[in-house]
Amino acid sequence: MFRLLSISFKCQTGNGLLEDSVKGVEAFLGEGGFGVVAKCRNTITNKFVAIKVNKNAPEIYHQARQEIEILKQLRCLDPETCNIVQWNGYFFLKMNICLNFELLDLSLYHYMEGTPEKTLPITEVKDVLYQLSIALSHLSSIGIVHADLKPDNVMVVDRHQKPLRVKLIDFGLASRVSDCQPGMCVQTTWYRAPEVCLYSEFNEAIDMWSLGLTAAELAVGYPLYPGNMDYDVLSFIIATQGQLPDHTGCRPEDTRDFWLSSLDDLEELMEVNRGHNSDHGLLVDLIKKMMHLDQDQRIKPQEVLQHPFLTGSLPQNSSTCVWMAISFRQYIPKKPGRYGLKVTLPRHMLGNCRSTQVGLQMPPPRDQPGETGGLRDD
């Protein structure tokens, strides 16, 4: 039996049995389009868990069932060594599917926002990339693509624990690689791979693209490609990385006036306030390999683990942070609400737009806490 909002229900578990314990809701951790996430206490074990209560709507129900099927496949992996959230099963609360997860501390995004510089120290960037690469390596080994990797879907196990421990959460958009089809709705726009934007065939390499963007955000404090729509994201990509592979059918004519002219500029931006550090160049090199425009040429998780950025010696100043909060603002034009990007794109990428000159608006605020169902303990 579970108690939710002081109302008791008998709940059927995923194996067809009735739940024997009572879990009182201690707090609501967040809500989103899927439903709510609640911090609950198991009164038998006296341990806290995170319960994701999905809405009783046909599309939400279908997505929850898909997530359960993926989570069942993940049971062959050790959550601790594979750095993925531990799933404790599911049950029904009336007609609502509820997923039971271990309770974690807070999202990587909120952890980063809680630092004075709004970025992570280089040592913690290494810790995060190492652990997430291990997670992606294990997912790839069983043919699973996460399809929504971003700082909001990476949880810090314990913010006070050193070295930093993280786990990958939210498998609501995950699927088997063999089931991936062009045009599927996957990935949050800011972290969307070019092949997804172009409705091309894709595979688990889209997770590596998202990890590259996450690495850049951890290092500089801002999302690299904050577009509201696919062609916004493609404009950012073209402006910083040039022409997409010929097989994508995208041939830009102009990529001028962007605050970041190439991914190589990231190193200079990292050093504006901190001076030279050889790790900066290594990190940029790794990000470029993670964000190769051709998914077939993108670095693999096991190769990331062997990259000099992760295998090299730690910098002498272990507290060195890579951040560009000041320098980023210097690159933004005075006209409020716009980035300095004007790029000419092919007509077929612009839909019904009259002009091929695209000016990108600043995106709306990031999803509110809990929007993605983060299993956090605030």
Whole-angstrom distance, CA of residue 289 vs CA of residue 312? 17
Choose the catalytic residue: 148, 152, 207, 232.
148
Q: How many helices (H) and strands (E) does the chain have?
A: 12, 16
Whole-angstrom distance, CA of residue 324 vs CA of residue 335? 20
Whole-angstrom distance, CA of residue 357 vs CA of residue 355? 5
246 included as an active-site residue: no
Nearest Cα neighbor of 349 from 235, 271, 196 is: 235
Per DSSP bridges, beta strands 23-32 and 7-9 are: unpaired
Report the alpha-carbon angle 73-47-150, nearest 5. Answer: 50
| In contact, 101 and 87? CB cutoff 8 Å | yes
* 52 annotated binding-site participant: yes
Q: For residue 192, how many C-alpha atoms fall within 13 Å in the half-sphere facing its CB?
A: 27
Whole-angstrom distance, CA of residue 122 vs CA of residue 323? 10
Give 12's strand partners. Answer: 18, 92
Helix (H, G, I), strand (E, B) or coil at 88: strand
Give residue 196's identity as a one-letter amino acid code: V
Specify the residue for token string 């039971």.
100
Whole-angstrom distance, CA of residue 207 vs CA of residue 138? 12
Whole-angstrom distance, CA of residue 149 vs CA of residue 108? 11
Active site amino acids: 148
**What residue numbers does the annotated binding site for ATP cover?**
52
